[in-house]
Amino acid sequence: MRRYFTLGSVFIVLLNGVIAAFYPPVLWSMVVFTPLLMLGFYDLLQKKHAVLRNFPLIGHFRYIAEAIRPEISQYFIESDTNGVPFNREQRSIVYQRAKKVRDTVPFGTKKDVYEVGYEWVNHSIKPMHLEPKDLRAVVGESNCKQPYSASRLNISAMSFGSLSKNAVIALNQGAKIGNFAHNTGEGGISPYHLQGDGDLIWQIGTGYFGCRTRDGKFCPETFTDRVNLPSVKMIEVKLSQGAKPGHGGILPAAKLTKEIAEIRGVPMGKDVLSPPAHSVFSTPVELLEFVARLRELSDGKPVGFKLCIGKRREFLAICKAMVKTNITPDFISVDGGEGGTGAAPLEFADHIGAPLVESLIFVHNALTGFSLRRKVRVIASGKVTTGFGMVKCLALGADMCNSARGMMMALGCIQALRCNSNHCPVGVTTHNPQLVAGLVPEDKDKKVANFQQELVKSVCEIMGAMGIADPDHLHPWHIIRRTSPTEIKHYGEIYEFLKDGDLLKENLPPSYERACRAASADTFEHTTA
Q: Is residue 252 part of a domain?
A: yes
Rounded to whole angstroms, how far apart are CA atoms 319 and 202? 23
Lowest-pLDDT choice from 1-5, 304-308, 434-438, 443-447: 1-5
According to the model, what pLDDT value does residue 125 have? Answer: 97
3-state SS, one letter per residue, for 98-110:
HHCCCCCCCCCCC
Average pLDDT over residues 41-61: 93
Rounded to whole angstroms, how far apart are CA atoms 467 and 481? 20
Same domain, 50 and 180: no
User: What pTM, to 2 d.p., does this model score?
Assistant: 0.92
Same domain, 159 and 56: no
Same domain, 327 and 407: yes
Rounded to whole angstroms, how far apart are CA atoms 164 and 429? 6
- Strands 377-381 and 400-403 come out as parallel
Same domain, 147 and 62: no
pLDDT per position as a tens digit, 394-405? 999 999 999 999
Among 48, 70, 92, the domain boundary falls at 70
According to the model, what pLDDT value does residue 199 have? Answer: 98
pLDDT per position as a tens digit, 220-229? 999 999 999 9
Rounded to whole angstroms, how far apart are CA atoms 389 and 357? 11
Same domain, 9 and 147: no
Q: Bridge-partner residues for 307, per DSSP? A: 334
Question: Does a cis peptide bond (omega within 30 degrees of 0) precede residue 85?
Answer: yes
- Say whether pLDDT at 249 is over 80: no
Q: Residue 259: pLDDT band by 50, 70, 90 thresholds? A: confident
Q: Residue 263: pLDDT band by 50, 70, 90 thresholds? A: confident
List C-alpha distances in Å: 238 to 91, 173, 184, 205: 28, 24, 11, 5
Q: Average model confidence (pLDDT) for the chain?
A: 94
According to the model, what pLDDT value does residue 252 have? Answer: 64
Rounded to whole angstroms, how far apart are CA atoms 423 and 429? 8
Among 402, 432, 461, the domain boundary falls at 461
Q: Is residue 413 part of a domain?
A: yes
Average pLDDT over residues 69-83: 88
Q: Is residue 8 part of a domain?
A: yes
Same domain, 296 and 170: yes
Same domain, 63 and 154: no
Beta strands per DSSP E along 362-497: 377-381, 400-403, 479-484, 487-490
Same domain, 11 and 157: no
Are residues 368 and 500 in contact, defined by beta-carbon separation less than 8 angstroms?
yes
Q: Is residue 51 part of a domain?
A: yes
Same domain, 184 and 300: yes
According to the model, what pLDDT value does residue 254 have? Answer: 65
pLDDT per position as a tens digit, 404-422? 999 999 999 999 988 888 8
pLDDT per position as a tens digit, 327-375? 999 999 999 988 777 677 888 888 999 999 999 999 999 999 999 999 9
Q: Is residue 277 part of a domain?
A: yes
According to the model, what pLDDT value does residue 342 have? Answer: 66
**Residue 15 domain boundaries:** 2-70
pLDDT per position as a tens digit, 114-125? 999 999 999 999
Q: Is residue 91 part of a domain?
A: no
SS3 212: strand
Q: Residue 529: pLDDT band by 50, 70, 90 thresholds? A: low
pLDDT per position as a tens digit, 155-202? 999 999 889 999 999 999 999 999 999 999 999 999 999 999 999 999
Q: Is residue 41 part of a domain?
A: yes
Same domain, 44 and 168: no
| Region class of 332: left (phi > 0), else alpha (psi between -120 and 50), else beta | beta
Q: Residue 256: pLDDT band by 50, 70, 90 thresholds? A: confident
Task: Give how many domains the chain has, as a whole number.
Answer: 2
Rounded to whole angstroms, how far apart are CA atoms 338 and 244? 10
According to the model, what pLDDT value does residue 200 have? Answer: 99
Sign of the C-alpha dihedral, residues 445, 232, 205, 453? negative
CATH number at 150 reads 3.20.20.70
Q: Is residue 53 part of a domain?
A: yes
According to the model, what pLDDT value does residue 463 have? Answer: 98
Lowest-pLDDT choice from 56-60, 462-466, 517-521: 56-60
Among 38, 70, 102, the domain boundary falls at 70
Average pLDDT over residues 190-216: 95
Same domain, 310 and 239: yes
In what order do the strands lie in the sheet containing 479-484?
119-121, 479-484, 487-490
Same domain, 329 and 402: yes
